[in-house]
Amino acid sequence: MAAYVIGHIAIKDPLKWEAYRSQVPATLAPWNAELVFRGRQFAVFSGTHPHTDTVVIRFPDPSAVRRWFESPAYQALIPLREEAADVVLVGYET
């Protein structure tokens, strides 16, 4: 059963965001995760959505998502992420 992490992002510091973004792929590799989509919002058609960017990452299963998020490699990036952007990460299973 595949699992996905969807990140809703409001960038505060573009330089720090780029530093964070460039380091995330190495944290995904051990969990066989792949970047599915990364994009910037161009319109909100219904309701409100304060985040400008979205990322979708596919994992083999929900357990891999948890292990990735709790991994020392990803945990080490969280302070940089928090300085760089307001991020909401949500896990979904299919």
pLDDT tens per residue, range 33-56 = 999 999 999 999 999 999 999 999
**What distance in Å separates the CA atoms of residue 46 and residue 25, rounded to the nearest whole number?**
32
Q: Domains in the chain, ordered, with CATH?
A: 3-93 (3.30.70.100)
Side chain identity, residue 74: Y
What was the pLDDT predicted at 49? 93
Locate 51 and state its tokens. Answer: 């985040």
Mean pLDDT within 73-85: 98
Per the CB < 8 A criterion, the answer to whether 68 and 7 are in contact is: no
**What distance in Å separates the CA atoms of residue 28 and residue 89, rounded to the nearest whole number?**
15
Report angle CA 16, 21, 22 to the nearest 5 degrees: 100
> For residue 90, what pLDDT band results from cuts at 50, 70 and 90?
very high
pLDDT per residue as tens digits for the range 54-65: 999 999 999 999
